[in-house]
Each structure stands twice: as structure tokens, then as C-alpha cells.
Chain A
Amino acid sequence: MEHFFSLFVRSIFVDNMIFAFFLGMCSFLAVSKNVKTSLGLGVAVIFVELITLPVNYLLQTKVLEPMGLEFLSFILFIAVIAGIVQLVEMVVEKFSPSLYNSLGIFLPLIAVNCAIMGASLFMQQRIGMDPDNTQAITSFGDSIAYALGSGIGWALAIVCLAAIREKMEYCDIPKPLKGVGITFITVGLMAMAFMCFSGLAI
């Protein structure tokens, strides 16, 4: 249980998807213009991670590894992700049209969000790790902890950036730097702040 929580906290702060690995950058930069939509996208990412990672964990340990088919993992993981995103989209549309309207545009985009695929690939690397390592994913429960942690870390990052960008509207920024340029530099400074967590012993 202790491992569950340390993995969870570690994947939010230390191994943050954005600030440590630059995953999901494209939608992170494109959608972080206001807090409300970025919160919607963040929730959608947590949701999809929470479903795809455990499925991919089972696929990797119960199917691919025993059969020695690890080289097929790229195709299978992306197929699982694209399939589940499609399924989630249809289920949400059927049972909760209001949630569908608020997430609607983002759900299909998530299939090509690197944060989701990246989490699956990192998990694949971590399955064989020494169980004492806080990064190791050795059980089904661990894969859920990692999914939750990395999803929440991503959502946290995008909401923070959106809040900063809303305030930055009023700043006098050099013209060529406006928009994307200053956003990159802001993210760089945020990443520096997040580096403090890397000294954290969990």
C-alpha cells in the first residue's frame, strides 16, 4: 500500500508528464488559453489514462510477454487507446450529453495525445524494474496508481499554465514573443520550479 501512494505522489510531482518528459505538449500549448476548457481537457486525460493504462498493463503482462510478442506493443497500445477513446466518446454521448458537450471536442484529440501513449510506454519499461524502486509498476494496482498520478499531474500542469496565461493577457510583451514564444518560456520557468520536487525522498 505504501508503494501505491509513493508511486502516486511521485508520478504527480517528480515524474510530471509535462515538466519532466514533455509529453502531451501539443494540446498543452494549444488548449491552455483559459482555465475552464483546460480543466475539461485535464479531466478527460485523467479519465482516459485511468481506463487505458490498466488495460495495456494486462495486455502486456498476460498476452504479449508470455507469447514473446513485445515488438507488437506499439501497434496494440495505440489500437487500444484509439479504440477506447472512441468507445468512451460514444458512452459519454449516450449517457451524459452535458459532459459530452463540455468535453466533446477534446475526446477524439486525446487518442493522439502523447501523454497517454507515453504513459503506456513508460509503464512497459517499468514492469520489469526492481520492486523496491519507487518507480516500479509490479501489480495491477500500481498501474492504476500510475494512471491516476500521471493524469492528475498533467491536469495540474495545464490548469496552472492556463491561469498564468489568463493573467499574462495584460502584460506588455515584445511583439515577436507574444503567444507561443512567451508560453514556451513560461513553461520553462514552471518546469524549473517543479525541479524542486526532484529532491523529494518518497
Chain B
Amino acid sequence: MTPLLQVSNIAKFYGHRIGCTDVSFDLYPGEVMGIVGESGSGKSTLLNCLAGHLTPDTGAVRFDTRTDGLRDTVTMSEPERRMLSRTDWAFVHQHARDGLRMNVSAGGNVGERLMAVGARHYGDIRATATDWLGRVEISEDRIDDRPTAFSGGMQQRLQIARNLVTGPRLVFMDEPTGGLDVSVQARLLDLLRGLVREMNLSAIIVTHDLAVVRLLADRLMVMKDGHVVETGLTDQVLDDPQHGYTQLLVSSVLQV
């Protein structure tokens, strides 16, 4: 089977400082990869390099496009990459306001990606938006409300609906539950799991929260100071950590 994403030797430097270096992995359809690390580990830099928000200094990020097979998105032209990020890719930001248009209604937010790829029937767009709001458990009667009138959890769910409406195959998530109340996180995690399974999504999730990663990710990469120190199945890395730093990380988690 062809991997959906083939990452080879990604590195990003800031002068002499290492953002991230020597990162390689393959991601297959339906797999969720977690990237954990503490502040300064390079995980967000890596995510931004993979998603095309930053240009890596070395390496390739090959994505299995529907029409042309494996293409290196780092060397792709900007129009192509932007098209990719509107169709096959999605990016869920930590703060919903970075991923939503706050002055556009919920329905307009969800419909935007559809309209961006040519949807021209108002009734159909609205029906699809309503359907998606239902799937992320936002009540239908809020379709015309602005996100400014939503709670943090609702905004995040709206962001997810907005991203998934065009049926992407790969979702990048940056601390998707960070900043949310603990009680809200649980529902969001379950929603994400359900959607990943239903839509056979692949996802790359960056988080510092080991509990989130255990529940959401199949595979795990642990980063420290820009390097990947350990990688494997999530439950294996968390239950049988091999690297000293991973052992430290796991043993430091507070038990509730």
C-alpha cells in the first residue's frame, strides 16, 4: 500500500538553533500520528513544515495526490499547495479564532470551503452546512450566528466542521483540545475519534498532553530539542518507553 504521506529528512533551522531536524516517517490512510514534546521541542515547527506553513531547510514531504500520485509538497508551486490545503488537507488550529472567520456566520464558515471549490447552489450549500453542524453537535438553529456568540468548545467544533466539509484525507491538528475546559475536551476527543474512523482520515496531532495522545493517536513520536527521540505505537511508547526522556515524560504525568 502507498503511504498517504512520506516525510523524509525534514529539518528547519533558525540560524544555529535547531527548530527540528532529521524527521522521517510514513503515514498510511486511517492512521493517527501524535507528536508530543514539551515547549521548545520543535513539534509545532515540525507540524508547520509538514502542513506547508513553513518551508523546511531540507527534506521532502510527499503526499499521495488523487491525480498525480506521490508529489513533494515542499517543492510544489504555491497555487497547487493552497489548492491542496483547501481540498485534501485540513488544519485545525489551537485557537479557533485562527481557523475561523469571526465575522461570518457559522453556516458561511462551513460553506466557505465548498464555495471555494466551486459550489454554486445556495440551498445545497446550506443543507451541507446544516448536516455538518449536526455532526459536530452544534444545534441547527445556530447556523446563522457568528462564532463570537459561541463558547470555546463550540468554536472548536465549528472549526472542525469547517475543515472536514470537503472530505480531506489528512488533518493537521495543533493542540486541538488545548485551552478548552476539561469537561469539553472529552466530548471533542470522542468526536474526533468518530470522525477519523468514519471518514478514514489520517491525522497528525501535536500536543503536550499525553492523555489526549493516548486516546486519539495510533502512533506516537516523542520530540526533544528538535530531535525525534522515540517513535512507535502509542500504547507501546507510553507503557514501555525505551528512551530516557520518554521515561521521564511518562513518569512525570500527574495521576488524577
Q: Tell whether A pairs with B.
A: no
